[in-house]
Structure 1
């Protein structure tokens, strides 16, 4: 899911956001841009958005929902917690299968020995090698699709994949997998090499809560690292029509998941809204019941004047009603 780089200039139904007095179904809300001056009291967001209703001309302020910490730390933290709930949702289901935590790396840039778990020095020369890291990063999504297709022929599985950016700028994939059959490291390594990944493949038992927090941390961190990743693109000369290879800011997705993994972003946000509404209704009901239980002031005489009894002198029976 990509970070919010520019204000979204689209129209949303008035009933989807609070604060607009238009009737339900009237589409008039428009995001104008970031609010000048930064944060607003009562809103936990450092880069709020200014929203205007074109029907009633009311002005609203929304949280920016940015994924990047460089844009807004509070919204980025909320996004990370949202991802934790999504990642953990699959672990809470029945018949989840065998859990594995898979790490895939880019091929090395120099000659190296084949990586073999538990064998110092590796297993002889390895043929996996990357010539242009920018080209490999741009094609990493295709390599992942090939690996998914090959692995689906071995067993049924569901996955949640996140991107980590290595120091050299290569994309590093971490995948949480629930599979119908146990995965073998040598089998996955063979599939990964054929798909275009490097020989260093790590496969460990899945720890749902620990790996959910780990994946959410790197997915959020990767939204701020696109400028550090070499990325090759086609560049079209608008005058001659000639197409050449050039560079551009990286366009990778920081995370993705299979369709049957579990909760979606929409599900989590809907649950959050429902929980906030339930909390509001509970507090309102509690306040209403307190008002009904509180006796009228006339029952205890007029309000005390100077020198008369203070609230601390009220009898214990009366204090319990007020509490």
Structure 2
């Protein structure tokens, strides 16, 4: 990035030229004129252009374990502002697009490894021959909403455009079950847990086995992600796979098939029910999945309509999103009065208010605490133990790669080498987070540059490779 000149024209004129406000531009010019600006850029580039970096102060010393000699030392005292900036790691694209991009990439590789196999992630390529489906479980109806049916016209008689803000909102807010909607979101995690229990029971029944015998012959593995529909109800997408009893390394039994898995998923979803007892003015409720259960075979078993890469990319896409599709806020709401500060859609506002109204009746459900998520408090991305690798393992691989790279640059010995083992003594202190307005503008520019370079490199690689890498992160 080229260093910006210090106000060769009036600040307001330059601000208009670069598309920012004068105060942000003034701060931007201050940052660009500060000694150590090049090092600041290097720090931000190493975070990937993080929107809200963590600031650390401290020191690290690398010594020879045998002699005690100092091989390398580092202190943030010599850094811009006396701080080291590291990526925030937030998965939400609305909070930090850069870190969310990395999280989505990790999720893509985690999901894809469980579909196609990847020896580097301890999943054999033979999983492509296992029964695998992409299943979607939805919420029931809580009242009619504006939609785009196959007929082309909504019940309100309008033909809504796909970007119409009315989509997903209640046709009659006075009759819409807002309490039921947020309670369903709040218990969605329990519905999923019970679904996984019933799924194994349904598979065992169709195989003519007891549940104990099923565990000795077949394992059910899955990776799932949660997605908010426009109406504010959560639903789940999951890759479900049948393995042998030892996991992906073992072939499933001969009776395991896509058809059996499809039938078992539908039957299990129909059986699941969670009872919410009466509380306050609220009656007892029985929560179930919606009637729309979709199960599609994946790729290599002769069903090529839904490709392996498309499934992994789809799951990764929603791993970085929360309830933003409904227009809600992306952080906790401390008190209901805070809603006055936000320009929220009326439907979303009513869902949030329903969370607060129900909080006193269901104190153990933390509805007010999770009102910004419309009551949902589960994990957006989960997997079974044997599905594939873990996000932690992927992050560790990346960290090890960077550590090895830096060690080579500094001429330090391999810590695993018995003859040249080292000892690292470090002390770090949290010193804040975030950017000033000018720094934020520059960080966004750096993030765009990084993404452009990656996209260009991917396109060039796609032109060189004979294989299709569509959807790769």
Q: Under a length normalisation based on structure 1, what TM-score does the superposition of the two structures give? A: 0.61
Cα distance change of structure 1 residues 49 and 277 upon mapping to structure 2, 3 Å threshold: closer
Match of 1:49 in 2: 54
**Could you say if the C-alpha distance between residues 266 and 243 of structure 1 is closer, same or farther in structure 2, counting changes exceeding 3 Å?**
closer
How many angstroms apart in 2 are the aligned matches of 1:270 and 1:243? 36
Structure showing the higher strand proportion among its residues: 1
Aligned counterpart in structure 2 of residue 190 of structure 1, from 249, 252, 267: 267
2:319 to 195, 209, 219: 219
SS in 1 for 2:372: coil
By how many angstroms is 1:273 displaced? Answer: 2.2
SS in 2 for 1:199: coil
Q: CA deviation at 1:188?
A: 2.1
Closer/same/farther in 2, CA of residues 48 and 179 from structure 1, 3 Å limit: same
Q: Please state if 1:104 is matched with 2:230.
A: no
Range with greater deviation from structure 2 (242-251 or 131-140): 242-251
**Matched-pair contact (CA < 8 Å) for 1:104–1:200:** yes
Largest Rg, 1 or 2: 1
Aligned equivalent of 2:238, options 175, 178, 199: 175
**Residues 246-269 of structure 1, C-alpha deviations (whole Å, 9 max, x = no match):** 642222321111111211121101
Residues of 2 paired with 1:243 and 1:187: CA distance?
33
- 1:201 corresponding residue in structure 2: 293
Is the partner of 1:160 in helix, strand or coil? strand
Q: Identify the match of residue 144 of structure 1 among 180, 192, 210.
A: 192
- Tell me how far 1:276 sits from its aligned partner: 3.0
SS of residue in 1 equivalent to 2:236: strand
> For the structure 1 residues 160 and 282, does the alpha-carbon distance in structure 2 shift closer, same or farther, using more than 3 Å as the test?
same
1-structure distance, mates of 2:384, 2:107: 14
The residue aligned with 1:73 is 97
Deviation by residue 1:122-166 (Cα, 9 ceiling, x = unmatched) = xxxxxxxx8711111111111111110011224431101101110
Please state whether the residue corresponding to 2:237 is helix, strand or coil. strand
Q: Secondary structure at the match of 1:109?
A: coil
* Unaligned ranges ≥5, structure 1: 1-36, 112-129, 286-323
CA 71–236 in structure 1, closer or farther in 2 if over 3 Å, else same: same
The structure-2 alpha-carbon separation of the partners of 1:243 and 1:169, relative to structure 1 and needing over 3 Å to count, comes to closer
Contact 1:185 1:202 in 2 (8 A): no
Distance in structure 2 (CA, Å) of the matches to 1:284 and 1:53: 19
Flag the structure with higher helix content: 2
Write out aligned runs for 1:224-243 (5 A): 224=324, 227=329, 230=351, 232=355, 235-236=359-360
Does residue 268 (structure 1) correspond to residue 345 (structure 2)? The answer is no
How far is the alpha carbon of 1:54 from its aligned partner? 9.0
Residues 223 and 83 (structure 1), Cα distance of their counterparts in 2 relative to 1, 3 Å cut: farther
How many residues matched?
228
Are the equivalent residues in 2 in contact too, given 1:66–1:76 (CA < 8 A)?
yes
Cα distance, 1:223–1:54 mapped onto 2, change above 3 Å: farther
Give the 3-state SS of the residue equivalent to 2:41 in structure 1.
coil
Q: Secondary structure at the match of 2:385?
A: coil
Q: How does 1:1-323 map to 2 (within 5 A)?
A: 40-42=40-42, 43=44, 44=48, 45-53=50-58, 59-91=83-115, 92=117, 93-94=123-124, 95-96=126-127, 97-110=130-143, 132-155=180-203, 156-180=219-243, 181=256, 182=258, 183-195=260-272, 196-206=288-298, 207-222=307-322, 224=324, 227=329, 230=351, 232=355, 235-236=359-360, 247=368, 248-250=371-373, 251-279=377-405
Tell me by how many angstroms 1:245 deviates. Answer: 9.0
- Tell me the CA shift for residue 284 of structure 1: 7.7
Question: In 2 relative to 1, CA 246–107 (structure 1 residues): closer, same or farther, beyond 3 Å?
Answer: same
Instruction: List runs of 5+ in structure 2 lacking aligned partners.
Output: 1-30, 32-36, 61-74, 78-82, 118-122, 145-176, 204-218, 244-255, 273-287, 299-306, 330-347, 412-473
Distance verdict in 2 for CA 1:245–1:267, change over 3 Å? closer
Question: Residue 279 of structure 1: CA displacement?
Answer: 4.7
Q: Compared with structure 1, are the counterparts of its residues 187 and 57 closer, same or farther at alpha carbon in structure 2 (3 Å cutoff)?
A: closer
Structure 2-normalised TM-score? 0.43
Which secondary structure does the structure 1 equivalent of 2:265 belong to? helix
Larger relative contact order (Cα-Cα within 8 Å, sequence gap ≥ 6): 2
Q: Displaced runs of 4+ in structure 1, greater than 6 A?
A: 54-57, 242-245, 281-285
